[in-house]
Structure 1
Amino acid sequence: MRAPLPLVAALAGCAAPLPAPDLVQARAAPVPLVEVTPTPAPTATVAVSLAALTVEQAVLLSLSNNRDLQVRSLTPVVAGTFQRIERGAFDPEVFADAVYDRERASQVARATGQRFDVSGESSSIRLGVRERLPTGTEVEAALAHTLDVSNRTPRQQQARLELTVTQALLRGLGPAVNLAAVRQAALEEEASLYELRAFVEALIANTELAYWAYVLATEEISVYVGSVELARQEEQDILQRVDVGLLPELELAAARAEVALRAQALIDARSRREAARLSLVRLVRPDPGGALSNPVTAVSALEASTEPLDDVDERCQLGVVYRPDLAEARIRLKQGSLQTVVTRNGLLPRLDVFVALGKTGFDSRFGDAVGALGGPTYDVRAGLSLGYFLGHRAAAAADVAARASAQQAARAVENMAELVELEVRLAANEVERARAQVKASATTRDLQAEAVVAEKERFEVGAGTALQVARAQRDLLASQIAALRAVADHRSALVRLYQAEGTLLARRGITVAGTELAR
């Protein structure tokens, strides 16, 4: 079953961050592997075990199973119908009219003054086609047949051909105004695709962030479990020394307190991991039944890149090119400009010129009446039609509103472009901070490990206390957690940077059909 999502997915580049592409590379769309065409059919849910989940699989599952995405992916399908609806105004229309008259009357002859009865029947049928053109022209062609039967006149049949052309000269003249609604509908469809792309980008970012949050929580539990076991070993060692009289009993209190503190920290860590698991499962939704109890085992390694960012200006330019919300704002600006064309034309008076041509054939039989159409008889009508609203308040107000909205949209685009640059620079700054913290926290962790060894040696020779050893081990535990969080922060900062640039989908090999490049 095909999904209603206009995505072209290729997740090969999802595991590791890519180097920042230059503007020429950024304009090249990723090579599509699997194309999913927009269709109103329901989305097939992919059911996959989470026993060995990679970050690539998590992204693929979120694109396949996420309920919010399934709902939003139908929006472009709906928007795509608007253009066809607006073009329907220019479809040819076939029409038919049929009329039957019957009359019985009494009349008085003017010459003789005698009264006489008159009875008659008349039937007519008219078939034709009419069409409105984008130029502001209306064309109508018709064929009519009339039969008259009366007790006072011979039977007579009439065949008639008619052609009427009406052309707008002021209001409604030209394709620019008449096709504005069609072009606005096409822009609406394009805007809905960029809106969907922004949602897909946010979904992928949230999925990756949730995945790394779960990996971090799992790694933290490993550290906390090891620290609890170490604290218990220290407690047993001190207890044995107290029993043989090598240490005073007061040293045991510090060891027991340290065990309790680390057990307390382990409880909080397990709670954080469960919260991270629930968030991740909600995004990937591997079970068609929607159960949140699925166990998760993340297998992608928590690693950080050591390459510094030295191309922030270029990344800001990428944001201007690729950000879907900025592209959508530009499309809204185009829609507003088209609306001003319509409202400005609405200020003009209605002035139409029309020409009607007709040929009529008469005879007692229909076939002969049709044959008589080739005769020299014809009729022509031509004229002008003028209409103007005094004051024109509604049209003037609509024009003012449209022009103000267009100016508002233009300023919104300028403001959004500045915000995009700000977001990219802030995200790049966070990446650099996290990268520096990875190295600094690793150094701190190693030094804290040496400090623990030194405190233990001092404790062994009687120059230190169990409390000092516990404090050193506590500092080591904090440095180990800080080192893990620094790596996770760096991975998360990269994801947010790619999202701020608008290149997250391109870096993951995913495109939304119709939005390969922001215009």
Structure 2
Amino acid sequence: MKQTAALICCLLTVSNSFAQTRSPAITYGAGRWGSYLPGDVSQPDFQDSTRIQDLIKAGQLYLSLQDAIALALENNLDLEIQRYGVRMTSTDVLRASGGGFLRGIPLTVTEAPAGVGGPGSSLNNSAASGTIPQTQVPVNVTDTALIQQAQNNLSVTGAFPFLNGPAIPQFDPTFTAQTQLQHVEVPQANLVTTGTSEFTSNLFSGNFGYSQGFGPGTQVTATFQNLRTANNSTRSLLNPFVTSSLGVSISQPLLRGHGSDLNRRFIRIARNTGKISDFVFQQQIISTVSGVIRLYTDLVSLNEDLRVKRQTLATAERLAQDNGSKVEQGTLAPIELTRAQAQVAAARQDLINAEGFLRQQELILKNTLSRNGNADPLVHSARVIPTDTITVEAPPLQTAEEFIRMALDSRPEFQAAKLQIANSEISLKGSRNGLMPQLDITGSATNNSLAGAANSIYVGAIPPLGSVPGYGDGYVTALGQVVRAKNPALTVGINLSLPIHNRIAQADVVRDQLQVRQSQVRIRQIENQIRLEVEDALIALERTRSAYLAAAETRKLQEQSLEIEQERFAAGLSTNFLVIQYENYVAQARSSEVAARGAWAKARNQLERVVGQTLTNHNVSIEEALRGKVSRTSSPAIPGTTVPGARP
């Protein structure tokens, strides 16, 4: 799992690697002013990979299971959506590195549509079974649940976010600059202050600042302020005059907001969230691949069941034809021909249903494997021909406990849940720090200056007109005073803010603790669910394998019984009624065998999923899934053959 997360993180940091992939690419502004230029995200690519066109021959889409998986990795839109989610995590890391709050990422995984199911599904139970010719008319073939996709939220921390906690220092430095021209005319009520009844002033200011926060919570601010003033006051010694000051102030929290571990918590959470996103993407791959395997398995079963229905119809038509000849010869009662014709009608109805189910399943599968769904005329018109068959294998050798350990180590949603718990505990530390009083130590040092020309209209006894020693008459003089620290100002202080009762912080800490404990219960619930799913899947695999073996034996015996009954009927030792009955038994046995074989394949697929081995067993590369490009070439096989390594 750690290697998987590291692999995805590595791919995200190498922007050039996306040049030949279908994964979304992010470009940030470059050059000296790149920090102030908007980044750009590549437009979605809605063109299907060329693989799907390569697999279409003469209007037929010859599809092996491995090719179906490859098409899903390249074209499935659920995976494409998740690729954007993976890329979002890098923006949260960048944002947290600058001292910003996190925006979060989606943790939703979309399942593949259910499809119409196999021959043994609720839509298609049996074919012309019983002693009376009958068929089943499906009533829910337009149920939208067959094509809709369920969504699973992998979040274990609840719908309400944790408290942000004490403010984070702004790690990105900020430079400020301000310049201003001002002309002021103010009437005066007395002459004492300015020496004039209408005070006029012209000001020009230029101020600069720099501020930056640091991990321990330290906030440093530097200012450089300049002001030139000219007025008509007769009370000012200097006119015009210039003032400049250069100052540095530092603030350091001692309780609330103190410590690098605390103030960098969002960076750690963002990095953990990046790993969580990797696991969510891996879970989406598993959900998509597992869903494609299920849809493909049902398609194989529906194709096999269609052949069974055709055989059943052909057998019923032969019997009706034979009975018609015998009725014409007068050796068989007309009622027997009517019964045989009813059997033909029932078998034909079953065939129509089977063909409809098959076409529905093809549409659903093609939509899952294509970016444009069935909007592409070439894809829409192509009939899907599965080239793999289902072969029931021996039961696995591992014990249930071994499978459970494998699942707990491999299931990405379980690993994501543990990282969410880790993030919630980091957030809780921030909430606990918020209980502390605000106690900051502050300090500042400022060098001040003043320079200007003697006021030619000065009215006063001291100093004499034209004599203001030490202050010169220009800006250079003022800067010299700043550099020499001629007029320093030093400040040291302590700021204390002590909330009485502190009820808000107390409530927030307890609330966050409750959410953490709730998440811990949830992860134990997930662990128990994983154990249950593994054991349930093992039981299902064993049950479906036994059911298949029994169904295969039943089909064999029913075919033998039909042959015997047909021989007895030809010899005049049986009745038309019994022959029809045994034909129904054979048809039902064949359909049951097909359904049982498909049920076993889906049970095995479910076992692979619950133990977290879907990707390993089907040679799926997470790197290729992230890039949306599968390196393996397609080679359409002959329909009805089992491709080496294929596991439908």
Partner-residue secondary structure (3-state), 1:51:
strand
What is the one-letter code of the residue matched to 1:375? R
Among 278, 281, 290, which residue is 2:366 paired with?
Answer: 281
Partner-residue secondary structure (3-state), 1:52:
strand
Does 2:530 correspond to 1:420?
Answer: yes
What is the one-letter code of the residue matched to 1:182? I
Does 2:382 correspond to 1:295?
Answer: yes
Does 2:212 correspond to 1:131?
Answer: yes
Give the conservation status (yes or no) of the 8 Å contact 2:65–2:388.
Answer: no
Supply the distance in 2 between the matched residues of 1:95 and 1:376 (Cα, whole angstroms): 24
**Which residue of 2 is the match for residue 153 of structure 1?**
237
**Which residue of 1 is the match for residue 352 of structure 2?**
267
* Deviation string, structure 1 residues 341-384 (Cα, Å, up to 9, x no partner): 11111111100001112223444222233233343633321110
What is the one-letter code of the residue matched to 2:429? V
Supply the distance in 1 between the matched residues of 2:256 and 2:508 (Cα, whole angstroms): 15
- Structure 1 position 121, deviation (Å): 4.6
Q: Number of residues paired by the alignment? A: 483
Partner-residue secondary structure (3-state), 2:383:
coil
Does 2:593 correspond to 1:505?
Answer: no
Residue range with higher mean Cα deviation, 235-244 or 131-140: 235-244
Give the conservation status (yes or no) of the 8 Å contact 2:442–2:494.
Answer: yes
Supply the distance in 2 between the matched residues of 1:506 and 1:116 (Cα, whole angstroms): 91
What is the one-letter code of the residue matched to 2:499? F
Does 2:160 correspond to 1:51?
Answer: no
- Structure 1 position 241, deviation (Å): 3.0
Supply the distance in 2 between the matched residues of 1:320 and 1:52 (Cα, whole angstroms): 37
What is the one-letter code of the residue matched to 2:582? A
**Which residue of 2 is the match for residue 495 of structure 1?**
605
Among 433, 438, 441, which residue is 1:345 paired with?
Answer: 433
**Which residue of 1 is the match for residue 545 of structure 2?**
435
**Which residue of 1 is the match for residue 3 of structure 2?**
none
**Which residue of 2 is the match for residue 21 of structure 1?**
none
* Deviation string, structure 1 residues 31-76 (Cα, Å, up to 9, x no partner): xxx9664434303421533521222222233333333443343233
Partner-residue secondary structure (3-state), 2:177:
strand
Partner-residue secondary structure (3-state), 1:91:
coil
1:442-453 aligned within 5 A: 442-453=552-563
Does 2:469 correspond to 1:385?
Answer: no
**Which residue of 1 is the match for residue 574 of structure 2?**
464
Partner-residue secondary structure (3-state), 1:297:
strand
Supply the distance in 1 between the matched residues of 2:623 and 2:517 (Cα, whole angstroms): 30
1:80-99 aligned within 5 A: 80-89=90-99, 90-98=171-179
Give the conservation status (yes or no) of the 8 Å contact 2:22–2:45.
Answer: no
- Structure 1 position 172, deviation (Å): 0.5
Partner-residue secondary structure (3-state), 1:74:
helix
Give the conservation status (yes or no) of the 8 Å contact 1:231–1:255.
Answer: yes
Query: What stretches of structure 1 of length at least 5 have no aligned partner?
Result: 1-5, 9-33
In structure 2, relative to structure 1, the CA distance for the partners of 1:395 and 1:448 (3 Å cut) is same
- Structure 1 position 337, deviation (Å): 0.8
Give the conservation status (yes or no) of the 8 Å contact 1:171–1:348.
Answer: yes
**Which residue of 1 is the match for residue 266 of structure 2?**
181
* Deviation string, structure 1 residues 224-278 (Cα, Å, up to 9, x no partner): 1122112211222233233334444444333223222222221221222122122
Give the conservation status (yes or no) of the 8 Å contact 1:190–1:514.
Answer: no
Among 399, 417, 420, which residue is 1:329 paired with?
Answer: 417
- Structure 1 position 500, deviation (Å): 1.3
Supply the distance in 2 between the matched residues of 1:405 and 1:179 (Cα, whole angstroms): 22
Does 2:293 correspond to 1:208?
Answer: yes
- Structure 1 position 515, deviation (Å): 12
- Structure 1 position 451, deviation (Å): 1.0
- Structure 1 position 7, deviation (Å): 10
What is the one-letter code of the residue matched to 1:76? V
Supply the distance in 2 between the matched residues of 1:454 and 1:276 (Cα, whole angstroms): 37
Supply the distance in 2 between the matched residues of 1:334 and 1:242 (Cα, whole angstroms): 82
**Which residue of 1 is the match for residue 403 of structure 2?**
315
- Structure 1 position 336, deviation (Å): 1.3
Supply the distance in 1 between the matched residues of 2:447 and 2:477 (Cα, whole angstroms): 14
1:7-22 aligned within 5 A: none
What is the one-letter code of the residue matched to 2:315? L
In structure 2, relative to structure 1, the CA distance for the partners of 1:287 and 1:57 (3 Å cut) is farther
In structure 2, relative to structure 1, the CA distance for the partners of 1:70 and 1:515 (3 Å cut) is closer
- Structure 1 position 164, deviation (Å): 1.0
Supply the distance in 1 between the matched residues of 2:371 and 2:310 (Cα, whole angstroms): 29
- Structure 1 position 288, deviation (Å): 6.2
Give the conservation status (yes or no) of the 8 Å contact 1:302–1:487.
Answer: no
In structure 2, relative to structure 1, the CA distance for the partners of 1:43 and 1:494 (3 Å cut) is farther
In structure 2, relative to structure 1, the CA distance for the partners of 1:464 and 1:120 (3 Å cut) is closer
* Deviation string, structure 1 residues 100-134 (Cα, Å, up to 9, x no partner): 56577686579xxx989876555432212100112
What is the one-letter code of the residue matched to 1:413? I
Query: What stretches of structure 2 of length at least 5 have no aligned partner?
Result: 1-5, 9-19, 26-40, 100-170, 452-472, 627-648
Give the conservation status (yes or no) of the 8 Å contact 2:178–2:206.
Answer: yes
Q: Please, what is the CA RMSD of the aligned residues?
A: 3.0
TM-score, reference length from structure 2: 0.68
**Which residue of 1 is the match for residue 464 of structure 2?**
none
- Structure 1 position 339, deviation (Å): 1.6
In structure 2, relative to structure 1, the CA distance for the partners of 1:439 and 1:116 (3 Å cut) is closer
Residue range with higher mean Cα deviation, 247-256 or 481-490: 247-256
Partner-residue secondary structure (3-state), 2:524:
helix
Give the conservation status (yes or no) of the 8 Å contact 1:107–1:118.
Answer: no
Supply the distance in 2 between the matched residues of 1:115 and 1:243 (Cα, whole angstroms): 137
Among 368, 373, 376, which residue is 2:482 paired with?
Answer: 373
Give the conservation status (yes or no) of the 8 Å contact 1:193–1:515.
Answer: no
Partner-residue secondary structure (3-state), 1:73:
helix
Q: Which has the higher helix share?
A: 1
Partner-residue secondary structure (3-state), 1:489:
helix
- Structure 1 position 199, deviation (Å): 2.7
Give the conservation status (yes or no) of the 8 Å contact 2:362–2:384.
Answer: no
Residue range with higher mean Cα deviation, 192-201 or 352-361: 192-201
Supply the distance in 1 between the matched residues of 2:542 and 2:47 (Cα, whole angstroms): 39
Partner-residue secondary structure (3-state), 1:321:
helix
**Which residue of 1 is the match for residue 279 of structure 2?**
194
Supply the distance in 1 between the matched residues of 2:534 and 2:416 (Cα, whole angstroms): 18
Give the conservation status (yes or no) of the 8 Å contact 1:63–1:69.
Answer: yes
1:52-91 aligned within 5 A: 52-89=62-99, 90-91=171-172
Supply the distance in 2 between the matched residues of 1:79 and 1:70 (Cα, whole angstroms): 15
In structure 2, relative to structure 1, the CA distance for the partners of 1:92 and 1:55 (3 Å cut) is same
- Structure 1 position 205, deviation (Å): 1.6
- Structure 1 position 413, deviation (Å): 0.6
What is the one-letter code of the residue matched to 2:284? F
Supply the distance in 2 between the matched residues of 1:269 and 1:161 (Cα, whole angstroms): 87
Supply the distance in 2 between the matched residues of 1:250 and 1:199 (Cα, whole angstroms): 59
Supply the distance in 2 between the matched residues of 1:37 and 1:250 (Cα, whole angstroms): 68
What is the one-letter code of the residue matched to 1:279? I
**Which residue of 1 is the match for residue 107 of structure 2?**
none
Supply the distance in 2 between the matched residues of 1:37 and 1:147 (Cα, whole angstroms): 58
Give the conservation status (yes or no) of the 8 Å contact 1:359–1:379.
Answer: yes
Partner-residue secondary structure (3-state), 2:278:
helix
